[in-house]
Structure 1
Amino acid sequence: MSVRSVIDRYYECVNAGDWEGWLGLFDEHLVMDEQLAGHLEGLTALRGAVSGIQQVYSRFQNTPRYFVIDGAQACVVSHISATSAGGKPIEAEVANYFLIQDGKIAYMANFHDSVPFAPILEPQPRQARESE
């Protein structure tokens, strides 16, 4: 699969909520530096991050705007439009860097302002215990 094909599929899967398809794009020994989730290594760690994504967002779209591809590397500037599980809107500009090896994402990093993500970073209110 070409670098552009992998990148296009990445955004197709994210926007369709096809997390299994998305996970299939990554090398089993991937390394990811994700601004909110931190440093991740391997598919097991990434699978855990997907679980978190599904819990904190009720809607998540990441629309690519600009692509720069140089050999096995790519940078994509995109716009995230999402809704937190609590119903708060999130709008953010993002840059994703990809290194593709043997048709799989071997390394990925993203860069964005964390302020728009406050609705998912804020501590959630505690639910009252039934006995109270």
Structure 2
Amino acid sequence: MSDAPSLIERYYAAFNAGDREGMLACLTDDVAHDVNQGGRETGRAAFRAFLARMRRCYREQLRDVVVMTSADGARAAAEYVVHGEYLADDEGLPPARGQRYVLPGGAFFELRDGRIARVSNYYNLADWIAQVAG
């Protein structure tokens, strides 16, 4: 039996606890991070910088997390609902005024040697913009 579900659950538990180091510990050194509707960032240092920006701009909790894994444990997916608050302006996005939002999202993972080698995040950016702009 693969420990893939527990790895993804540990990753999201660290996210919800604001434990950036705990999240980073779940990643390979060369992790590929596909940012929602953005480019690919590679490496743990790039992911650390992403988490710093997220911490500055957003306060989020993921609820109703459901983890699914392939039989061989090499791939996983998660579906969740983001409950968040927009704290500070993020480049190219509407101004932040503490707006709250609730947004379904998901992620796909590649796993290697007991760690996350790729995470691709998805959510409806137009829905998020409508919630924070309105």
| 1:1-132 map, 5 Å | 2-35=3-36, 38-57=39-58, 59-70=59-70, 71=72, 72-85=74-87, 86-118=97-129
Aligned-residue offset at 1:67: 2.4
Q: Supply the AA of the counterpart residue of 1:33.
A: D
Q: Deviation of residue 36 (structure 1)?
A: 5.3
Q: Is there any run of 5+ residues in structure 2 with no aligned partner, and where?
A: 88-96
Aligned residues between the structures: 120
Once superposed, what is the RMSD of the aligned Cα atoms? 2.0
Tell me if structure 2 keeps the 8 A contact 1:90–1:116.
no
| 1:128 counterpart residue number | none
Report the residue type matching 1:69 in the other structure: T
| Amino-acid identity (%) | 24
For structure 1, the residue ranges without an aligned partner over 5 or more in a row are 123-132
Distance 1:61 1:54, change over 3 A: same
TM-score, normalization by structure 1: 0.82
AA in 2 matched with 1:63: R
Superposed structure 1 runs of 4+ greater than 3 Å apart: none
